[in-house]
Amino acid sequence: MYPGQITIASIIYGDANSPVDEIYGIAFTMNYDEELMENSPSLMYDSSWVGTPGVNLLGFSKHFPGTGTSDIAITRTNQQNIISQYGIIAEVSFVIKDDLSGKGLTYYPIEFSISNVKAIDKNETELEVQTMTTTSIIEFNPVSVNEIQDENQIKIYPNPAIEKINIQSGKQLEKVYLFDLYGRLIFESILQTNETQINTDHLPAGYYMLKVQTKDKTEWLKVNVGR
């Protein structure tokens, strides 16, 4: 991770050896170092093995300024448990502060942990959940992106955008999403082409997060809509 970068933290429940059985909803507290972040973390819960927002899934998040904590809850709404699944249940976005280099460090760790977990099935029977702490590294003075040559690199232009933003990739694009900094989905498109456009003339000025999926990778890019 680099200062000024939009960063996505994935919240994962279960794994191939220990899949989640008979779950209906989960709530927990996410803990982090708030001093390293430019904005409050935003919850994003696209369609996943848990469900689809607006169809059979609801999500909620509340940030508590000055505490380095956010409460998050995700629940199904169709009275049907999910059986033997695992993987990403949600993602949290935030921006690393630009002025961290004043700390005099080349690398700086940022730690995330989960606490106060409560998971239930459709009958509100509580399920046992184990949690773990993860640490990522913020790197200062990174190599300029202009020095990195990758024929499959995803390119966006113009940025800042006024009326539209163009997206190009050496690999075929599969899905494109645009979120605001509160994690709200603004635009979604399923594709089978190497380039596309998103109209931005109707959007308020500010920063947005672009999620681009190809067959080989998923990349998050920061988009600035100007006026």
pLDDT class for 153, splitting at 50, 70, 90? confident
92 closest CA partner among 31, 11, 28: 11
Determine what percent of the chain is predicted with pLDDT higher than 90: 37
- The structural domains of the chain, ordered by start, are 6-139 (2.60.40.680), 150-225 (2.60.40.3080)
pLDDT of residue 154: 87
pLDDT class for 149, splitting at 50, 70, 90? very low
- Helix (H) or strand (E) segment spanning residue 44: strand 42-44
Q: How many other CB atoms sit within 10 Å of the CB of residue 51?
A: 22
Residue 132 pLDDT more than 80? no
103 closest CA partner among 33, 7, 17: 33
33-88 pLDDT, tens digit per residue, is 888 787 778 888 777 899 998 899 999 999 898 899 999 999 999 999 999 999 98
Dihedral sign (CA 138, 142, 145, 150):
negative
pLDDT class for 3, splitting at 50, 70, 90? low
Residue with the two structure tokens 């900094």: 181
Whole-number average pLDDT of the chain: 83
Least confident range from 31-40, 65-74, 122-131, 197-206: namely 31-40
Q: What angle do CA 122, 128, 132 make, to 5 degrees?
A: 125
pLDDT class for 187, splitting at 50, 70, 90? very high
Which pairs from 35-39 meet CB under 8 Å and 24+ separation? 35/97, 36/96, 36/97, 36/100, 36/108, 36/110, 36/138, 37/94, 37/95, 37/96, 37/97, 38/4, 38/94, 38/95, 38/96, 38/97, 38/98, 39/94, 39/95, 39/181
pLDDT class for 218, splitting at 50, 70, 90? confident
Alpha carbons 159 and 157: distance in angstroms, whole number: 5
pLDDT of residue 69: 93
Question: Which residues make beta-bridge pairs with 151?
Answer: none
Q: What is the DSSP secondary-structure string of 171-184?
A: EEEEEEEEEETT--
Exposure string for 171-189, b = 16+ CB within 10 A, e = fewer: eebbebbbbbbebeeeeee
pLDDT class for 167, splitting at 50, 70, 90? very high
Alpha carbons 13 and 130: distance in angstroms, whole number: 9
166 closest CA partner among 191, 190, 203, 200: 200
pLDDT of residue 198: 96
Sequence-separated (6 or more) residues with CB below 8 Å from residue 3: 96, 97, 98, 99, 100, 101, 138, 140
Phi, psi of 195 (to 5 degrees): -150, 155
Contact 59, 52 (CB under 8 A): no
- Across the range 180-188, mean pLDDT stands at 81
Residue 4 pLDDT more than 70? no
Contact 12, 131 (CB under 8 A): no
